[in-house]
Amino acid sequence: MRWVIGFGRFWWDFIVGDSIILAVGGIVVLALGLALARAGDGTAAQFVLPATVVGTLGVSLHLR
Amino acid sequence: MLSGALLLGSSFLASAVEMVEALTIVLAVGLTHNWRTALLGVLAGFLALAAVVAALGPSLVHYVPINALRVGVGVLLLIFGLQWLRKAILRAAGLKAQHDEAQIFERELAELRGGAAGGQAVDWTGFVVSFKGVFLEGLEVAFIVLTFGTNSGRFDLAAAGALLAFVIVGATGAVVHRPLARVPENAIKFTVGLALVSFGTFWGGEGIGVKWAAGDATIVILAAIYGLSAAAIINLLQRSAPPLPAVGGGSG
């Protein structure tokens, strides 16, 4: 059991690290881009993707 | 051509940072226990890494559709890159202690001296510390090489960058036998963070169907946008909060 917890903790630290906002933000960025691309607005996605990345970083630092 | 050079450079810098960290740990084990213990840990770490890469590499390329791979890798690179960038920004703004390899080395030495066996016999505590250092830092290198290689279709360039870093860091460590404290680690982490986030946005975007108008040059444009944004954030943070005193090591 301790081995399983240690294994899970290792991957949590490896992927999530210090800020869960960045982990969630990384998924939200591409989900948002996917929604725009599916809606046929590929041009908007080109601007929304980097803007959301910068926003995620800013929020994570603001809430540190 | 452009993305190839960026790929090689990013792989080299990311690998160099992780290898400097691994070298610091191995040197501490070698100096407190013995070199046989330290090098056995290194060898075991490399074998474990090779097994992970051999297990994951081919399956990624052959069994996962390229767009699904790009989305998955894009998310991971974004998360990973944002973590590096966040730490580098906090350090540059003076809100987090600098990652000082000399201090980490001294701390490792002090911890290891408590359980040092001495002589030429293999010490298992030292072996595990050396193994973990190589395996965990190497796992980050393997992750970057695998994701860059699978997405770009240029495993050769991604692996060449890591190999070059291995040769330079390894040779330097073998000559100086001291931690590489003069490596500007935070500046390198900042650059690598920018590269990972830029590649992550680019490949992730391609995976979900975004057609980047500037083609491969988008990676450079994204890096410039993120670099300017990060500089602005550092400036804001420096103005809004008092800096930490210049002490401590910290991890990552």
Q: Mind telling me how many Å the CA of B157 is from chain A's nearest CA?
A: 25
Query: What integer is the mean pLDDT of B116-136?
Result: 79
pLDDT tens track for A19-58: 899 999 989 999 998 899 888 877 888 999 999 999 999 9
In a domain, B167, yes or no: yes
pTM over the 0.90 mark: no
Contacts of A43 in chain B (CB under 8 A): 213
- B72 in a domain, yes or no? yes
Q: Which residues of B174-208 are buried (b: 16+ CB within 10 A; e: fewer)?
A: eeeeebbeebebbebbbbbbbbbbbbbbbbbbbbb
**What pLDDT sits at residue B47?**
93
- Chain A residue with minimal CA distance to B200? A26
Per the structure block, which two tokens stand in for B16? Answer: 């160099």
> Is B250 contained in some domain?
no
Question: Does the pLDDT at position B249 exceed 50?
Answer: no
CA distance B205 to B201: 6
Helix (H) or strand (E) holding B152: helix B124-152
Q: Decide if B205 touches A, using CB distance below 8 A.
A: yes
Q: Is B252 helix (H, G, I), strand (E, B) or coil?
A: coil
What is the count of structural domains for chain B?
1
Q: What is the largest CA-CA distance in chain B?
A: 63
Range of the domain at B163: 2-240
Looking at residue B250, its pLDDT comes to: 43
